[in-house]
A and B are shown apart, each in its own frame.
Chain A
Amino acid sequence: MLELKGLSKHFGGVRAVDGLDLRVTQGEVFGLIGPNGSGKSTVVNLVCGLFPVTAGQVLLRNEDITSLASHVRVACGVTRTFQNIRLFDRLSVWQNLWVAQNAVEHRSEGFLRRWLGGPGRAREEIDRILEFSDLSGKRDELAGNLAFGEQRRLELARAVVAKPALLLLDEPAAGMNAEEIDQLDARIRKLKQDGLTVLLIEHHMELVMAVTDRIAVLNFGQKIAEGTPDEVQTNRLVQEAYLGVAEAA
């Protein structure tokens, strides 16, 4: 599904991502973990096209999307959420989803109908996603007025409404309480069931270990380990760099 070949991003002298090779297969939930500043969010920004790459390639279903603009990648099936929530605060919950209906099938609607028509067919689909995100009661609320957890849910909903094949989640559990994280866990599993491929960046290890199929660990922009959650957890390098070594009693 997603393949990164020798992906590098340098900011001046800083090598945020340095020659990263990664392969995420169709339908899996792939975790990307590592200490702060290890380049995880930069990888997301490179995959979704917010930053140009310094070197390397991003392949989606074996097609090179490295030079495509961000909004074109959405049409190709790559959507994301942000570490710091970025909603359209002064639009309603409903409108936040309406503007994000940019999948290829949405684009095929007639120009006038798509841009100047009423919600029409969009409404049904959005209502379904509102239900999935447990936001049905908030549809007319301004996004800026939502509680933190609701804003996180709306951001996930906005990423899903464009019908992605690959979903990039940048620390979706940050700031959430235990109950909300459980709900997030269930939502990610549901999305996987529906056939989505998910690239999950997260510091909350319980969630990562529970929900992912495979994990890669980054440190200083380079991959230091890759494998199943169990393999990664027991990897000595990973423990030293990130998870911490259990002190002998």
Chain B
Amino acid sequence: MDFYLGLAQIVGVHTLLGLSAYCVLLTGQVSLAQAGFFAIGAYVAAMLTVLAGWHILPAIAAASFVAGVVACAVGFPALRVKGLMLVVATLAFGEAVRLFFFNFDYQVARGEVKIGPAGGEGFRQIRFFPEHGWSTLDVLLFIWLFVALVMAALWWMDRSRAGAVLRAVGEDEVAAQSAGINVTAVKVAAMTVGGLIAGLGGGIFAHYTAHIEHAQFGVALATFAIAYPILGGLSSVFGTLIAVIFVQGFLIEGLRFLGDWRNLLFGGLILLAMNVRPRGLIDAATIAGIKRLRIRNREPGNARTQGAE
């Protein structure tokens, strides 16, 4: 049972990571900086609970805020470049963050032991959950509460004018600015929201793993972050969730029995999934199908759909 609870925790945190990339991707930007924001969130939150003795709620709020501010600051210079150049620039940022934490040593003596981030050895003893007697199930519910909140917020945003504007910028920047949209502001805002979500995810991640180190926040994590919304499709936030379940639940855990063959199959199955569903696991056609089902279940008189939907 604990295995499944643990898996559900991983899926939850990775969903937050994927959703942070989803926001940025809506505006047409491919960012590999999300792992960097995630790392910032993880270290800030852990330092606040471990070194400053904060409760986890304000700690992850602060972590999210700090990651958001950094994302906003990175957004302005980074968004001057586009396409592949942006990929390289954000990758460089992510690596810079990772190397910063590789060298970040800030240990404080507590009695006999020293606690805090210890450079390459990482940051051990992030023990807020066990110290406060939270069970695995409590932690799981805590994680999914935030996943649900973030998904609900993004779902709402997607249906509002903000969502339409993000997508408009993603489709055609020239047309968007000619339609009166401040493209830079929109892209920086998306980057900032992405940073807030990644920071939140990182803060939670640090506490359920209890030990973080720089190597966890490398290129592989950045690639996962951007792969989730691409694989899941940009038509709906649920696509990202489905993609995380597919990758973490099926490809990584479900195929573990295959041993070394798993890694080989992993890449192959992702390729297959993207070929079979080139617009994502959940695409516009899937959503249209679900809508039709919903309408059919309603009374005929209410069947008229509204434009904002």
Contacts and interface: CB of A to CB of B under 8 A. Distances in A.
Interface of A: 48, 50, 69-71, 74-75, 79-80, 82, 86-92, 94-96, 98-100, 102-103, 114-119, 122-123, 126, 139-140, 142, 158, 162
Interface of B: 156-157, 159-162, 164-165, 167-168, 171-172, 174-183, 284, 305-309
25 contacts: A50-B174, A50-B178, A74-B179, A74-B180, A80-B178, A87-B175, A88-B176, A91-B168, A92-B307, A94-B308, A95-B168, A95-B307, A96-B168, A98-B308, A99-B164, A99-B168, A99-B179, A100-B179, A115-B162, A116-B157, A116-B160, A116-B161, A117-B160, A119-B307, A140-B305
Nearest to B156: A116
Contacts of A122: 161
B284 A90 contact: yes
B178 A79 contact: yes
A172 to B, nearest CB: 14
Given A91-B171, A95-B164, A119 B308 contact: yes
A118 B157 CA distance: 10
Contacts, number: 100
A102 B179 contact: yes
A126 B308 CA distance: 12
Contacts of A140: 305, 307, 309
Contacts of A70: 177-178
Contact of B180 (A86, A88, A102): A102
Contacts of B307: 92, 94-95, 98, 119, 123, 126, 139-140
Contact of A100 (B157, B172, B174, B180): B180
Given A71-B180, A79-B180, A88 B308 contact: no
A82 B161 contact: no
Choose among B160, B176, B179, B308 the residue with the greatest number of A CB atoms under 10 Å from its CB.
Answer: B179
A87 B164 CA distance: 13
A214 B57 CA distance: 67
A162 B180 CA distance: 8
Contact of A71 (B157, B160, B181): B181
B182 A98 contact: no
The 6 closest A-B pairs by CB, nearest first: A102-B180, A74-B180, A94-B307, A100-B179, A86-B175, A115-B162
A123 B308 CA distance: 9
Nearest to A155: B175
A96 B171 CA distance: 11
B187 to A, nearest CB: 13
A91 B167 contact: yes
Nearest to A85: B175
A88 B183 contact: no
Contacts of A75: 180
Given A94-B307, A115-B161, 12 more contacts: A70-B178, A71-B180, A74-B178, A79-B180, A82-B175, A86-B178, A88-B172, A95-B164, A98-B164, A115-B162, A119-B306, A140-B305
Contacts of B161: 98-99, 114-117, 119, 122
Nearest to B171: A88
Contacts of B284: 90, 142
Choose among A69, A79, A99, A116 the residue with the greatest number of B CB atoms under 10 Å from its CB.
Answer: A99
Contacts of B160: 115-118
A100 B174 CA distance: 13
